[in-house]
Amino acid sequence: MKPAVYLFDLDGTLISAHGAGRRALEKAVTEVLGRAVPLEFSFAGGTDRGIARQALHDAGVEPTEEAIDELLSAYLQELSPALQATEEYTVFAGVRELLDELRPRPGLAIGLGTGNLEAAARMKLNRSGLNDYFPFGGFGCDAEARDELLRAGARRGAARLGVAPEDCRIVVIGDTLRDVAAASAIGAECLAVATGFTPRDELLTSAPTYCVADLTAPLVRDVLNQR
Ligand SMILES: [Mg+2]
């Protein structure tokens, strides 16, 4: 069996924190800029640096690297209380069962492939106890571009298996068109899952390798657990 690295997106794929991240960023913007700025763009499939850049741009502030760093540092301060305050927190159907099945498989490295800063990803997963399944990942602190952070995750996964990334089967599991595009850019397979805001029909237009309604679909086992 070929060594494999699976990179799971976080928001919309594993869990939903029902807007806690957005609320934390809005607070951080208010705190850093001294005024409230409506953030009217979609965060889905974005990376934390890209989202912070857009927020500053929309506020009429030049998004220098320093300004982005300052905003993200305020965001991390706000995220934990925002996550504690949110009553709604969803782990999507089939997630835990799938991870339990995959975890003992030899020759397989399971990581995150998410636009969240690693600290933000760990905070978001903490509430569900899912962090233990993901000892590594590619994160929004590795790169602003999604394909590059996936590359970093693939490299780390392959290193854990003691092989080169080129010798691994890489599968990205994600809920947005941006996950599909980034997977394709690094030559990975993509299992698109319609648990986020992008309906299955729309995901299919981007020609992911596989597409399912949620992670309980039998196809998920065929793709991830049968080879
Ligand atoms: Mg997502």
Ligand 1 centroid vs 176 CA: distance in angstroms? 6
Contact indicator for 9, 114 with CB cutoff of 8 Å: yes
Instruction: Tell me, yes or no, whether 125 and 151 share the same domain.
Output: yes
Asked whether residue 169 falls in the same domain as residue 94, the answer is yes
If asked whether residues 94 and 185 sit together in one domain, one would say yes
What confidence tier does 1 reach under pLDDT thresholds 50, 70, 90? Answer: confident
Domain harbouring 93, CATH code: 3.40.50.1000
How far is the centre of ligand 1, averaged over its atoms, from the C-alpha of 106 (Å)? 27
Spacing, Cα 110 to ligand 1 middle (Å)? 17
pLDDT at 223: 93
Are 31 and 125 contained in the same domain? Answer: no
Q: Is the dihedral of CA 156, 162, 6, 146 positive or negative?
A: positive
Report every protein residue that has its C-beta within 5 angstroms of ion ligand 1: 9, 11-12, 175
Are residues 80 and 158 located together in one domain of the fold?
no
Q: Which of 85, 119, 134 lies at the terminal end of a domain, its last residue?
A: 85
Instruction: Give the domain CATH number at 60.
Output: 1.10.150
3-state secondary structure of 216: coil
The predicted model scores a pTM of 0.97
Count the domains in the chain.
2
32 and 102 fall within a common domain: no
Is the same domain home to 13 and 79? Answer: no
CA of 13 to the centre of ligand 1 (A): 6
Range of the domain at 149: 4-17+89-224
60 and 110 part of one domain = no
pLDDT digit string, tens, across residues 129-176: 999 999 999 999 999 999 999 999 999 999 999 999 999 999 999 999
For the stretch 188-209, what's the b/e string if a residue is b when 16 or more beta carbons lie within 10 angstroms of its beta carbon?
A: bbbbbbbbbebeeeebeebebe
